[in-house]
Structure 1
């Protein structure tokens, strides 16, 4: 892990030789840098450094520290991949509130009043497209003819570079998956397209088909689960993306693909991962060692300093009243994050009294948040930590060592159970997968296990929030269950109302940023914006 993080810290071994983009869609190698590119790739280990840079785009925003951004016109904090993903998937839902609404874009995201000029929306679209561009350039620079021209002929080196190419394609599929989910469309380019030419618009069906075919093509040749270097992806990573697109296929493309989702979950569950014995060990400073870590976005308080999701969440958890930063190994940001009432209520009842997932701190606080600026209103969370499983604090009290859990085994358990309830999977297996999570949450006790009669879709949507809250899934889940837009389920400050009001159906998709529309005439705006 540390070795990979150190390589990522060098950051974007190919991108630092490229011009930062103002149009959000392309990073164009400058002609003067072509010779520099050849010199860079002539170094021993250059291709490993370059693929580390592609991974690094998920964590870092620039080459000169946490305040720098290689995407023009966007603040580093609102263009960090994991952070803006977390904002759009969690802050826009019933799970969390951000106190400082003067921070650009946050008020509109958490009140569901965003528009096409929102900087967080632009940050996510831009960062996703930047990831595609980085992959495309890496694949161009590692084509067989290019390798041969650089005198790279060693069989072992060529085999390693081929592994990197497969991983790059998987990372591109991840970016397109997020763009498909959040925006429903994207500009589509590959390494075979001319550099600097705006790509055509691909709709959800086209992106779905591409992601599926690309992952199925590379999956057999990716590293087997749990055999790759820590911090790098493997077959289970590809299967998790496939499971996600199949689970949400009715939303994306109007198709029932639950059987395919169940099959991918079965493969993941049987691939050597296991549930961590302690739930909270998935969210601390050495969480990369968790046996259920399928893919975590890396963070290190020394060598990969960034204002990413875990730095934001752990500092944000620190309460304005409690001043409990020492509990998490950070200084804290004075009550930046609090819990919406509807999330808290999902842990109501004595069956959750000893549930490890219930890290809610109430104290003397009021459960209701009637004034978002009042940081003393609303309960707070203690899920994430910048301390290791043995209690050792991270190297920095601001930038955390805690990786962001993008994909972990527990999600595969819950996805399989949902598929079984939707007619695609074994009901008894589904029950056992859910109860494995309940037992883990209760220190091995079966006292709060559920029965087959308890296992319903209404149970699953709440259990997903109890198990996976603040992990970047909630908006997607609510949309799939038809509880996001409309008024079937309201939460505090939904639709800019303290008690929550219905919101329009077009908000199931975010708008294409105005800057991106201006830079690529092939893109069109989503309905309602």
Structure 2
């Protein structure tokens, strides 16, 4: 049975309002129960929608996305001399000096990642308890894959976290810490089991099934997880990452867009041949909101892009990211830098009559308003605005990632020739000069160019080692390897003394 996901989104949101909680000691579905509600797949899917909506927040501009970009060489949020934006906890992450008291990490745990896990647990139990559970096995598998994806983020950020799959927590039997290896094994086994049951993208109507996970979406997630397998477990998993990337590639269901930027248009979501995993966003129906332009752009771009609000001039990048691109590389156009102009070619003038010129950040704690380059990741073209909220869908995994994952795995396994061809396939799309030879540094740099601000950079830098050795922004020295995972937030250990703090971090 094929069901239009967006058609039932409002029904799903009604369920969330009725229950509206991620506290596992409360009822998720209000007065609705498995006995009187799950009569059809569509009714059951309306509850799974809530899990999608909760998981989608890993890709928005909130703390889960920010801690995947903070501490890298492509993302900075300077405090402004004019007031605002300074946050010592942000500075702490950028310096690689995160403590258990860090509020950004704590919010990522308690507002984003574990609420998605808790919601998935409750929905899975309700589906399994339904008298019609035999007809809901595919939806159960789908929800298990969503929960595993949320656990992947928990494992990536904090390493050693509790695996908990019940709908409620027993206060007399609180969850205990599992090792990163155990979480890795759980995530992989859950996703592999789900993929056995879920439909292929080739067996559904793609436009109506979007943005639900398909078999290929799970394979793409597994490729991503296995790619950092040595980081998570100490054992390389290049063959496993390669096999899953090839499953997606060999499906024949995906291809590169004409331009990278086309993947991020509000008008090209369910129809994009490149997006493997995305999250549906519609602020006009209270179904999520995309605020990248609000948080990123300079105030003067309100007129440039005909925005119904004044952007807040927060998120920035710098010369390291910019200088990775050659001038002919079309992806370079995503980074706004230097003298700024309106769409008609007229200079963008400040109140004092001078032209706005975006320059590198000079002072991370008291930057002037023109300091910091801007990334126009999600285009304002064709957006249906709801205040400062755009309706561009969030993009999580693209086909180009599968090509570059395959290239990296082949290179590490000794097949340099085919790896070079795959990297050049991605470069050719953006008019970048084709490479004549390939190194691991080339692969890392190509991933940085291709996936700027897509939440991959921290994982990539840790895998390649540059996270620890390179200096950038206010990170001025070598980072200890144990800082490759964040500390368990102190507030979580206070709430659950059964949790263990990560090595080398204090409990408080």
Q: Shorter-chain TM-score: what band?
A: 0.7 to 0.9
Matches within 5 A, 1:178-217: 178-191=153-166, 197-217=173-193
Q: Which residue of 2 aligns with 1:66?
A: none
- How far off is 1:462 after superposition? 0.9
| 1:244 partner SS | helix
- How far off is 1:112 after superposition? 3.1
Q: Which residue of 2 aligns with 1:333?
A: 311
- How far off is 1:329 after superposition? 4.6
Q: Deviations over 1:253-303 (max 9, x none)?
A: 110111111111111112211111121111121241211111112222312
Distance in 1 separating the partners of 2:99 and 2:7: 38
Q: Which residue of 2 aligns with 1:384?
A: 378
Q: Deviations over 1:282-325 (max 9, x none)?
A: 11212412111111122223124546xx41x22233224x4356
Q: Deviations over 1:87-132 (max 9, x none)?
A: 0111221112224434584333334333222222112222222222
- How far off is 1:178 after superposition? 0.6
Distance in 2 separating the partners of 1:279 and 1:187: 38
| 2:434 partner SS | coil
Distance in 1 separating the partners of 2:297 and 2:462: 30
Which of 338, 362, 367 is the equivalent residue of 2:360?
A: 367
Distance in 1 separating the partners of 2:121 and 2:371: 47
Which of 382, 391, 405 is the equivalent residue of 1:415?
A: 405
Which of 386, 396, 416 is the equivalent residue of 1:406?
A: 396
Q: Which residue of 2 aligns with 1:483?
A: 466
C-alpha contact (below 8 Å) 1:318/1:336 kept by paired residues: yes
- How far off is 1:147 after superposition? 2.4
C-alpha contact (below 8 Å) 2:5/2:211 kept by paired residues: yes
Q: Which residue of 1 aligns with 2:53?
A: 56
Q: Which residue of 2 aligns with 1:235?
A: 215
In structure 2, do the counterparts of structure 1 residues 4 and 83 end up closer, same or farther at CA, with 3 Å as the change threshold? farther
Matches within 5 A, 1:214-293: 214-225=190-201, 227=204, 229-271=209-251, 272-288=253-269, 289-293=271-275
- Structure 1: stretches of 5+ with no match in the other structure: 61-78, 495-499
Q: Which residue of 2 aligns with 1:323?
A: 301
Q: Which residue of 2 aligns with 1:96?
A: 75
Q: What is the number of equivalent residue pairs in this alignment?
A: 471
Distance in 2 separating the partners of 1:240 and 1:325: 39
- How far off is 1:353 after superposition? 2.6
- How far off is 1:3 after superposition? 5.2
Q: Deviations over 1:25-60 (max 9, x none)?
A: x522359x7754358625764311101111111246
- How far off is 1:80 after superposition? 8.4
Q: TM-score under structure 2 normalisation?
A: 0.84
CA RMSD, aligned part only?
2.9
Q: Deviations over 1:424-458 (max 9, x none)?
A: 6x43332222112111112xxxx71112x2x1101
Q: Deviations over 1:456-510 (max 9, x none)?
A: 101111111100010000111001111112xx3111122xxxxx33333332111
- Structure 2: stretches of 5+ with no match in the other structure: 79-83, 340-356
Q: TM-score under structure 1 normalisation?
A: 0.81
Q: Which residue of 2 aligns with 1:125?
A: 109
Q: Which residue of 2 aligns with 1:73?
A: none
| 2:178 partner SS | strand
Distance in 2 separating the partners of 1:13 and 1:86: 26
Distance in 1 separating the partners of 2:308 and 2:277: 24
C-alpha contact (below 8 Å) 1:187/1:199 kept by paired residues: yes
Which of 433, 449, 455 is the equivalent residue of 2:422?
A: 433
In structure 2, do the counterparts of structure 1 residues 286 and 42 end up closer, same or farther at CA, with 3 Å as the change threshold? same
Distance in 2 separating the partners of 1:95 and 1:284: 22
Distance in 2 separating the partners of 1:436 and 1:292: 14
